[in-house]
Amino acid sequence: MTRLIWTRARKRAYGAAVIALLALLSLLMWPDAAWLQAAGKPTPGHENLQCSACHMAAPGELRQQLQASLRYFLGLRESPAPIGNADVANSACYACHERPTEHHPLSLMGELRFLDVQTEHGVHNCTGCHQEHHGVRVTASPTICSNCHSDDLVVNDPITPDHAALFASGKWDSCLRCHDFHGNHQMKTGDYNYPSTLEQGVASQDVLDHLGAGKSAYGPVLHPAKQAVSPK
Amino acid sequence: MAAGYATADEISASTGAASYCGSCIQALTTLTGDPGGTPVVVEIERIGGDLLVVTLKPIDGANFPQRHVSGGHVVLSIKDEKGWVSRPYTITSPPEEVDRRVLVVRCLTSGRMGRVLARSHGNARARIGTPRGDAFARLKRRRATAFLVAGVGLTPALAALRAKNGPPVAFVHASFREQEPGLERVLADACAPRNVPITVLNCKVVGLQSASDFTALARKHPGIDWFICGPVGYEKAVRIGLRAAGVSSARVHAEQFVASSSPGDSPPARIRTQAENNWAKTGLWLVAAWCAWAVLPPYEAWSEWQSSDAWRTTTGLILIALIAWQWVFPSLRGRGGLGRARRLELWHRAIGALSPIALLLHQRDLAHGLLCTLSILFVANTIVGSLDKTCVSDASHRERYMKFWLPTHVATSCLITALSVWHVIMVVTYRGGAS
Amino acid sequence: MKASRLVAPLVLLVVAIYLVATAPEALAASSKTERSLTTRSLFMVLANENDIARSLYTEEIVGPGKKIGLAFSEDWADPAVLAGPLPAVFLRCCAEIISKKSSIMLRLASDYPIELRNQLVGTELKRFQEMKDRGVPVFYVNEDAKRQVAMFPDIAVSMACVACHNSHEHSAKSDWALNDVMGATTWSWPTERISHKEALKIVKDFRGAVRTVYSSFVDKIRGVKGMPGIGLGWPADCISLPDPDQFLAECVKRASGKTLKILMADESWK
């Protein structure tokens, strides 16, 4: 086999390829075009975030990380070592979204009695329900409440229809019409902290829009995110 | 030329060049710029499909200055926009006919001479060189010869049948790929006066003749000579078959039609094979399927299934392997390994055509930014690959097409490879939430 | 030998040199090889710190506070409610804070809780019964979650605990008595051992959480008419509350001795 033969046609072809690759390299190195490298559209409100806001550098330098990964692969190390960037931890989310009132704190979601739900839905991590790069606020199903609350019994139930009826009919998608998950919105209606009928609550489509990328359905926020991020 | 020979015909006569196979005659014509020979008027009779009976008569109405021998060939030269194009042809008219020379030509428009003849009107002007060669030189005139011919290779059989003092013909066994009524009629007309038995096979109906068919034929006719003229594959099958029947090589004679071209000519345009055509269509259909998937709403169950890390890793590795494999063919070809490269070419086409399936299995949606670009480039490259040069039949158009096609295909392939490597790095170094 | 055949071995050699021969020190793994503390000791330290903080809060903030008109409620976090956290709620708030900083988990639960979410079920209930029967903390491994777990009894050390639970409208039991095991405080951690550095960080995080929660309470009532003063003469004057630093300093003072004793008794020193 001889070395590569450079015919005129081949030179032209690979010349075009080199130009295309240089253009790609420039694009990859241009800071303002970093959004092109994301895995998907940002969550509403995260448009102005840099990658490093959530993707912190993994401990060690690249060689150490590669070496640790190789050792893990060969069974010489207990745990894998992330290469490049560490897993996105809850602390990255808390940097902006920590609030004093939280109806579903991660300390509760992380309790061992919820292990099944943790395994299936990752509820002990923010990213279990709020996966980034999907262009929506919430990636979990709106019926996720059924995983923990299916045996709940509400004493002196003030709502119509009552919770038992709603649970029995499997209307788990109606929970979010009256209860905002994190308790970060003012839902008070009359004397109650929550609406007492579904009609007083948020419309189903509005809930779905809110969980997607649409308008916020729940009214004013009690504790806004620490960094004010606004769409471009 | 230094000795004063100015035309291709003169050089051929003095040196013997182009007197054996004739394949260098175009080179000589291009070199000298003048084919030489006798000016003739060309009369063309289309006998069906791409077959022509070309009758050449001297312009001045006189006889040709030299007679030819049965089995000889002559160089026909016609002018086109690039200059003179010269090709050798077996003379099928008998030597006794001194006022004309009749050729049977398969007019392939992928070839330069074919295009010229296809465009020719009645009474076109041409040149015809000095007759040369004697395909029947080795035939023993006391022994009958069976002519095993295929396609336009029947011209030596015609020459033998039509010549008064030609070799005795035992029978003619002609194989044609398609129904060729024109050739069959010409052959039957030539066999009739001498009552030569003739068998005509339509390979589309009976299948291609194999070596064992010729073995059986040879066993039925011992003690004769055999003359073969046809495509290389046909000749090979006949030789193997005859050898298997115990026929000595001294009794096997052949005439081969060798492609004639020069550096100035475009190479004969390779026609797309059926398999290549099928793969190209497959690729385009799969691209259409991918486009439909991109537009239709996502199927939830599939989306969930594709979200698993194990699935994405596995399908991702398959895609990377496909992309890496696709570089083997151009790498071999680039290093001049044409033989091995040619064997891999169909694989290259097949993998390219099927690659949209691998992409469909791997990606959940069109993604965003550079990932979306990668998907689109991947699919576009399948289209580009399916529309390669073999879908352009005209050789000169093909050359122009390649000037656009090759850089597009190579640049897209390089971009896809680079973006794939980038994607793998991003997947490894940017992880999602903790488990 | 053809040059092209040397390429692959050369590349492998370069990679081997890069990754192995000239590699820097390996990344530390959470491994048994490192000198470390047993998780059991950590749990015992945390249980001690927790007991001290809770008893200080219950006996010297909630008890006296109620007497001078302070309210303590589960809804204390509601801005409209002028109240401090109940002791269990105080601890739950601490749990929320420390869970954000590390993998340590803290849970308060009971076989007769006020809130159903704190009901002990399944394996936890079984272990709780075991703990009640043996009268000592229980240490075990939750195989499904792959976590080390320690369950410590919550004992009714003060009549304030008993009275409140007995009279609460949602309480599942109304005849609690002093020194009853009212529930369990459960700690869990992923590994069997923990580095000293990480263990001390967790203790520090817990103390910081105690200060933060107490500080939130104090900030609510500071300057409100009718509310006691903060930090002025506590504890001597019996009418003011400690400021956050004073509160923490007192917790530390009371807990440190035993904390150090537990740390020193750990088998990692042997």
| Domain ranges for chain A | 42-87
Angle of the B8-15 helix axis to the B25-32 helix axis, nearest 10: 130
The model's pLDDT over C159-200, given as tens digits with 9 standing for 90+, comes to 878 888 898 888 888 899 998 999 999 999 998 888 888 899
Ramachandran bin of B16, using left for φ above 0, alpha for ψ from -120 to 50, beta for the remaining angles: left
In angstroms, rounded to a whole number, what is the distance separating the alpha carbons of residues A158 and A180?
Answer: 18
pLDDT at C34 over 70: no
- How much is the pLDDT for B347? 92
- Contact of B174 with B199, CB cutoff 8 Å: yes
Residues of A in contact with C126 (CB under 8 A): none
Residues of B in contact with A84 (CB under 8 A): 425, 428-430
- How much is the pLDDT for C256? 93
pLDDT at C220 over 90: no
The model's pLDDT over B226-260, given as tens digits with 9 standing for 90+, comes to 999 888 888 888 888 888 888 888 888 888 765 55
**Cβ-nearest to A110 among C99, C101, C122:** C99
In angstroms, rounded to a whole number, what is the distance separating the alpha carbons of residues A81 and A8?
Answer: 48
Percent of chain B with pLDDT over 70: 92
In angstroms, rounded to a whole number, what is the distance separating the alpha carbons of residues A231 and C248?
Answer: 43
Query: Which site among A18, A37, A51, A125 would you substitute to test the B interface, given the most B Cβ atoms closer than 10 Å to its Cβ?
Result: A37
Backbone angles phi, psi at B77, to 5 degrees: -125, 130
- How much is the pLDDT for B407? 94
Question: Chain C: nearest CA to A36, how far in angstroms?
Answer: 31
A113, C92: Cβ pair inside 8 Å? no
Nearest Cα to Cα of residue C44 among C253, C195, C261: C261
The DSSP letter of residue B272 is P
Question: Chain A: nearest CA to B420, how far in angstroms?
Answer: 12
- Contact of B323 with B352, CB cutoff 8 Å: no
Count the neighbouring beta carbons within 10 Å of the beta carbon of residue A156: 4
Per-residue tokens: B204: 């589309």
A131, B403: Cβ pair inside 8 Å? no
B431, A88: Cβ pair inside 8 Å? yes
Of the two residues B57 and B165, the one the predictor is more confident about is B57
Q: Which of residues 32-91 of A touch B (CB under 8 A)?
A: 35-41, 51, 55, 82-90
pLDDT band at C19 (very low <50, low <70, confident <90, very high): confident
In angstroms, rounded to a whole number, what is the distance separating the alpha carbons of residues B316 and C188?
Answer: 38
Residues of A in contact with C26 (CB under 8 A): 64, 67-68, 71
The model's pLDDT over C44-62, given as tens digits with 9 standing for 90+, comes to 999 999 999 998 998 888 8
- How much is the pLDDT for A232? 38
Q: Which of residues 108-167 of A touch B (CB under 8 A)?
A: 122, 125-128, 131-133, 135
3-class state of residue C241 by DSSP: strand
The model's pLDDT over C108-127, given as tens digits with 9 standing for 90+, comes to 899 998 887 788 988 889 99
- How much is the pLDDT for B33? 79
Question: Chain C: nearest CA to A187, how far in angstroms?
Answer: 13
Question: Chain B: nearest CA to A68, how far in angstroms?
Answer: 14
The DSSP letter of residue C261 is H
| Residues C71-82, mean pLDDT to the nearest whole number | 83
Mean pLDDT of chain C: 86
* β-strands C138-142, C147-155 pairing: antiparallel
Residues of C in contact with A86 (CB under 8 A): none
Per-residue tokens: B287: 């691209």
- How much is the pLDDT for A1? 46
Question: Chain B: nearest CA to A207, how far in angstroms?
Answer: 20
The model's pLDDT over B335-363, given as tens digits with 9 standing for 90+, comes to 766 667 777 888 999 999 999 999 999 98
- How much is the pLDDT for A35? 87
In angstroms, rounded to a whole number, what is the distance separating the alpha carbons of residues B402 and B371?
Answer: 29
In angstroms, rounded to a whole number, what is the distance separating the alpha carbons of residues B359 and C140?
Answer: 48
Residues of C in contact with A75 (CB under 8 A): none
pLDDT at B22 over 70: no
- Return all residues near C254 (Cβ < 8 A) that are at least 6 apart: C52, C56
Q: Which of residues 75-114 of A touch C (CB under 8 A)?
A: 77-79, 81, 90-91, 94, 98, 100-102, 105-108, 110-113
**Cβ-nearest to C145 among A106, A107, A115:** A115
- How much is the pLDDT for B370? 93
Residues of A in contact with B415 (CB under 8 A): 17, 20-21, 24
- Contact of B87 with B21, CB cutoff 8 Å: no
Nearest Cα to Cα of residue B172 among B149, B193, B153, B189: B149
Task: Kindly state whether C119 is in contact with chain A, defined as any CB-CB distance less than 8 angstroms.
Answer: no
- How much is the pLDDT for A7? 75
The model's pLDDT over B112-130, given as tens digits with 9 standing for 90+, comes to 888 888 888 767 889 998 8
- Helix H, strand E, coil C: the string for chain A is CCCCCCCHHHHHHHHHHHHHHHHHHHHHHCHHHHHHHCCCCCCCCCCCCCHHHCCCECCCCHHHHHHHHHHHHCCCCCCCCCCCECCECHHHHHHHHCCCCCCCCHHHHCCHHHHHHHHHHCCCCHHHHCCCCCCCCCCCCCCCCHHHHCCCCCCCCCCECCHHHHHHCCCHHHHHHHCCCCCCECCCECCECCCCECCCCCCHHHHHHHHCCCCCCCCCECCCCCCCCCCC
Question: Chain A: nearest CA to B289, how far in angstroms?
Answer: 23
* Cα–Cα separations (whole angstroms), residue B242 to A219, B219, B220: 94, 9, 11
C neighbour chains, 3+ CB pairs within 8 Å: A
Name, of B241-250, B393-402, B417-426, C80-89, the range with top average pLDDT: B417-426
A61, C24: Cβ pair inside 8 Å? yes
Question: Chain B: nearest CA to A129, how far in angstroms?
Answer: 10
In angstroms, rounded to a whole number, what is the distance separating the alpha carbons of residues B80 and B85?
Answer: 7
- Contact of C228 with C69, CB cutoff 8 Å: no
Q: How many CB pairs under 8 A join A and B?
A: 109
pLDDT band at B395 (very low <50, low <70, confident <90, very high): low
* Cα–Cα separations (whole angstroms), residue B212 to B176, B202, B241, B251: 18, 17, 6, 18
H or E, element range at C184: strand C181-189
| Residues C243-252, mean pLDDT to the nearest whole number | 93
Per residue of chain A (232 residues), what is the pLDDT tens digit?
455 667 778 888 999 999 999 999 999 999 888 889 998 899 999 988 889 899 999 988 888 898 888 888 898 887 888 999 998 988 899 889 988 778 898 888 888 888 889 988 999 999 999 999 999 999 999 999 999 998 888 878 888 888 999 999 999 999 999 998 998 888 777 666 788 888 888 999 999 999 999 888 888 888 888 875 444 3
Nearest Cα to Cα of residue B104 among B53, B56, B174: B53
Q: Which of residues 83-112 of A touch B (CB under 8 A)?
A: 83-90
A neighbour chains, 3+ CB pairs within 8 Å: B, C
Bridge partners of residue C186, in order along the sequence: C107, C151
Write down the number of H helices and E strands in chain C.
8, 8
**Cβ-nearest to C99 among A64, A78, A107:** A107
The DSSP letter of residue B54 is E
| Residues C239-250, mean pLDDT to the nearest whole number | 88
B335, A86: Cβ pair inside 8 Å? no
A38, B368: Cβ pair inside 8 Å? yes
pLDDT at B266 over 60: no
A88, B371: Cβ pair inside 8 Å? no
In angstroms, rounded to a whole number, what is the distance separating the alpha carbons of residues B26 and A32?
Answer: 61
Cα A68 to the center of its chain, rounded Å: 28
pLDDT at B264 over 80: no
| Residues B266-280, mean pLDDT to the nearest whole number | 73
A108, C142: Cβ pair inside 8 Å? no
Which of these ranges, B201-215, B342-356, C3-17, C112-126, has the smallest mean pLDDT? Answer: B201-215
- How much is the pLDDT for C171? 85
Of the two residues B431 and A43, the one the predictor is more confident about is A43
The DSSP letter of residue C190 is S
In angstroms, rounded to a whole number, what is the distance separating the alpha carbons of residues A67 and C116?
Answer: 49
Task: Kindly state whether C77 is in contact with chain A, defined as any CB-CB distance less than 8 angstroms.
Answer: yes
A152, C116: Cβ pair inside 8 Å? yes
**Cβ-nearest to A127 among B332, B428, B433:** B433
Backbone angles phi, psi at C160, to 5 degrees: -60, -45
| Residues B307-313, mean pLDDT to the nearest whole number | 88
pLDDT at B263 over 60: no
In angstroms, rounded to a whole number, what is the distance separating the alpha carbons of residues A33 and C56?
Answer: 56
Instruction: Please name the residue of chain C whose CA is at the shortest distance from the CA of residue A154.
Output: C116
Whether this model's ipTM surpasses 0.95 comes out as: no
The model's pLDDT over B130-143, given as tens digits with 9 standing for 90+, comes to 888 777 777 767 78
Instruction: Please name the residue of chain B whose CA is at the shortest distance from the CA of residue A40.
Output: B368
